[in-house]
Amino acid sequence: MTDPAALLRPAFDRLKAGNLQRRTAFGLAERLRALDRLARVVKDHRAEIAAAVAADLGKPEVEAELVEVLPVLSEIAHCRRNLRRWMRPRRAWPTLMMLGTSATLHPQPKGVALVIAPWNFPFTLALVPVVSAIAAGNAVMVKPSEMAPATSTLLARLLPQALPDLVAVATGGPEVSQALLAMPFDHVFFTGSPAVGRIVMQAAAQNLVPVTLELGGKSPVVVGEGADIARAARWIAWGKVLNAGQICVAPDHLHVARPLMRDLTAAIRAEWQAMAADGTTAIVNDRHYARLIGLLNDATAQGAQVEALGQDHPKARHMAGRLVIGTTAGMAISQEEIFGPLLPILPYDDLSTAIDAINAGPKPLTIYAFGGDQMVSRLRDETSSGSFGVNLTIMPFLHQNLPFGGIGNSGMGAGHGQAGFDTFSHLKPVMRNRLTLLPLLFPPYTGRVRRLKDWVLRLLA
């Protein structure tokens, strides 16, 4: 078998050499042009992109355009509108000791970035970090997911065609990621599972390559006192129907105040069935389909009740939604990220119980709250998560003026909008001496220097 590293190294070397050569030449105008070319290629191949994603994930093409083409184009448009401002040196005001100097932070490209993407939004999650990396002036190597082969092949054809000097695509599985991770990239942006995140960080450590880890986990939704039941049901159902719940920020499970449980469950059931009526995304492959059935079987065997919200079509890997009631902490469904259309519903008598349950697990990527101000504020302040949504699901992920990222087990660093630009930039402090008086404290330490030192200490301490 051919060694993937031998095939990939020349592509890396080419990106690196181009990057060094461009150094000052990749200014605002060139970056805007590169982003334009990227936007053009996405617009020109819209239908092909939707078809590739639909083939990989068996999803309606309308949804494929909405979740794969639109976010990429809107990220490019957002970068184009703001790039001039983001690229400007940022002033750092002098502190008392620094009077007589001026200082700025100069955003500079890190160099050559590596983007490793997952399969669940195979186009968007590969492209959005590429947009940020290019906006920040980097060259990029992209490793799309082998579990979305049609999209990977398309990316490998379109990206180098649009930006031959700036982007290379390496297709393949973990062995390709491993070969790439052994190379001295200047930044690694990884989106995927916490388990692989650990492997990526360990590999990057060998070359001291900084990493951004966009990971997953179990993001809970909590519905409490004061919640608008109809609204909560609509957003929760949507969060599970979209992409068949295969979203890092999908509501994983639901904690609900016991008096609201019956009405909320009925409303979720109705919304879910209506939204899924026209068909939903398939489960990505047989392994994941079997994994989800395994979670249900394990829960049922241990006494949980499962209600199916429709018919399964295992051949096409279309799985009906399931409401799961009576789960306990020891069940697999309570421990691993569900990443599918199953919703455990857990009633609570006191909000503290739900908060304690959340705090007992790893820090989630996001937490969603539906309820009155007091309940929402308590949940926000007494828990820790990458982000926090009120009266909605999924949306914080789409807000380009909000950094998107996790904390602890759900990741580190952030992407999207300016946060993405900053991730791929080094904000280099540049300090200039205008007329600092510091040399008055230089040695030799005469009596005058000592008196001045005492005066400065009194002034500052």
Q: Which residues are tagged catalytic?
A: 214, 248
Quote the least distance from Cβ 348 to ligand NAD, whole Å: 25
Q: Which stretch binds ligand NAD (CB under 6 A): 128-136, 139-147, 301-309, 441-449?
A: 139-147
Sort 444 into a burial class: Cβ within 10 Å, 0-12 / 13-18 / 19+: exposed
Size of the site for ligand NAD (CB under 6 A): 28
What mask of x and - would describe binding to ligand NAD in positions 284 to 323, judged by CB under 6 A? Answer: ----------------------------------------
On whether the CB atoms of residues 217 and 142 are closer than 8 A, the answer is: no
Block residue for tokens 């179990």: 218
Angle, helices 261-276 vs 229-241, to 10°: value is: 40
CA–CA gap between residue 348 and residue 261 (Å, rounded): 9
Contacts of 234 (CB under 8 A, 6+ apart): 267, 271
Q: Identify the DSSP state of 386.
A: S
174 is a contact residue toward ligand NAD (CB under 6 A): yes
Task: Give dist(CA 122, CA 144) in Å, integer.
Answer: 7
Residues 197-256 that bind ligand NAD (CB under 6 A): 199-200, 214-216, 248
State which residue has the least CB distance to ligand NAD.
216
Query: Cα separation of 387 and 345, whole Å?
Result: 22
| Site membership for ligand NAD, residue 15 (CB under 6 A) | no
The DSSP bridge partners found for residue 348 are 257
In order, the DSSP letters of 72-135 are: HHHHHHHHHHHHHHHHSPEEE---GGGTTEEEEEEEEE-SEEEEE--SSSTTHHHHHHHHHHHH
Q: Point out which span in 193-201, 291-299, 300-308, 369-377 binds ligand NAD (CB under 6 A).
A: 193-201
Tell me if 191 contacts ligand NAD by CB under 6 A. yes
Q: Are 186 and 113 in contact (CB under 8 A)?
A: yes
Least Å from the CB of residue 160 to ligand NAD? 18
Strands 220-223 and 167-169: unpaired
Please report whether residue 117 would count as binding ligand NAD according to CB under 6 A: yes
Least Å distance, CB 121 to ligand NAD, is 6
By the rule CB under 6 A, 108 interacts with ligand NAD: no
- Nearest Cα neighbor of 224 from 117, 383, 115 is 383
Give the residue with the Cβ less far from ligand NAD, 148 or 260: 148
Q: Which stretch binds ligand NAD (CB under 6 A): 21-29, 117-125, 130-138, 273-281?
A: 117-125
Among 239, 411, 413, 420, binds ligand NAD (CB under 6 A): 411
- 363 scored as a contact of ligand NAD (CB under 6 A): no
Interface with ligand NAD includes 342 (CB under 6 A)?
no
Q: Is 344 in the site for ligand NAD (CB under 6 A)?
A: no
Residue ranges that bind ligand NAD, judged by CB under 6 A = 116-120, 125, 143, 145-146, 173-174, 177-178, 191-193, 196, 199-200, 214-216, 248, 337, 339, 365, 406, 411
